[in-house]
Amino acid sequence: MRLLVVEDDPDLNRQLVAALDDAGYAVDTALDGEEGHFLGDTEPYDAVILDLGLPKMDGISVLEAWRRDAHKMPVLILTARDRWNEKVAGMDAGADDYVAKPFHMEELLARIRALVRRAAGHASSELECGPLRLDTKMARVTVDGVPIKLTSHEFRLLAYMMHHQGRVVSRTELVEHLYDQDFDRDSNTIEVFIGRLRKKIPPELIETVRGLGYCLSQDGAEAASK
C-alpha cells in the first residue's frame, strides 16, 4: 500500500513518514503544494495526507485540481485546530477526512487505515480470504489462527491483494503500489515475492492469470479450506 504525505513542516513530515513506514506503507513525500500536486497527478496512491497551509500552492487548490482531474484516491487533510472554516472548505473540495493539529499519531494511522479499507470496499479492520486473515490494525497475518512472519515487501504485497481480492491485479499495478518513487522498481521481483508468499500461505489462494497478473481467488480460498 502506497501513500503520499504533503506537509511543509520538515519535522512533522519526517515523523509522519517514519510512523507510516513502521505501519507497513510505502511512502512518498512532498514539502510544497506544487510538488504534491504533481505527484498526486502522476502517481497512483492508496491515500494522501495533505496539509492545507502549503507554500507555492495551497492544499485546497491542490485538492480541487486533483478532483477536477478525476483522481479518486482518499485524501485526509491536516488543519489547524481552531480553523473550522478550513475543515469545511477541505471537505467541500473533496477531502474524505481530516485531523486537526496537534494530533495523536495513532488517531491519524487509524483514520488512514479506515480510508484505505473503505476505498477498497471493506468495512472491517480484519480482512479474510478462506483460512487467511490480515488484521490491518495490528499489521498481523494468520493462517488458520497461526501467525506467519512476512518481510515488509511481502506484507505490502499481500495487504494490497487482500484489499483487492477477487480482482486480477497486474504486475505493473503491484509495482506501483508496493514501492515508493525512489525505489529501483523491477516488475520481475513481484514474481519472486509471489513465490515466497505461496510458501507461507496456502499456495492455491493466489491464482496466476496468464498474461494479466495475479488474483487472490475466492475459488482458491474455498479449495484451501476444504
Residues 115 and 132 in one domain: no
Over range 71-93, report the average pLDDT: 90
Instruction: Please say if the pLDDT value at position 201 is more than 80.
Output: yes
What CATH number should be reported for the domain holding residue 209? 1.10.10.10
Q: What is the pTM of this model?
A: 0.85
Whole-number pLDDT of residue 170: 93
Instruction: Please say if the pLDDT value at position 224 is more than 50.
Output: no
Residues 136 and 114 in one domain: no
Residues 97 and 173 in one domain: no
Contact between 28 and 5 (Cβ < 8 Å): yes
Q: Which of 119, 150, 180 is the last residue of a domain?
A: 119
CA distance 197 to 160: 13
Q: Is 30 exposed, middle or buried (CB count within 10 Å of its CB: 0-12, 13-18, 19+)?
A: buried
Main-chain phi, psi angles of 147, to 5 degrees = -65, 145
5-20: b (≥16 Cβ within 10 Å) or e: bbbbeeebbeebbebb
CA distance 72 to 122: 16
Contact between 8 and 26 (Cβ < 8 Å): no
- Residue 146, domain extent: 126-224
How does the average pLDDT of the chain come out, rounded? Answer: 91
Whole-number pLDDT of residue 217: 78
Residues 21 and 95 in one domain: yes
Q: Which of 119, 144, 161 is the last residue of a domain?
A: 119
Residue 21: pLDDT band with limits 50, 70, 90: very high
10 Å Cβ neighbour count for 155?
Answer: 18
Sign of the C-alpha dihedral computed for residues 33, 13, 93 and 2 taken in this order: positive
Whole-number pLDDT of residue 181: 74
Residues 130 and 115 in one domain: no
Count how many domains the chain has.
Answer: 2
Give the model confidence (pLDDT) of 141-193 as tens digits. Answer: 999 999 999 998 899 999 999 999 999 999 999 999 988 776 666 667 889 99
Give the model confidence (pLDDT) of 111-133 as tens digits. Answer: 999 999 999 888 888 999 999 99
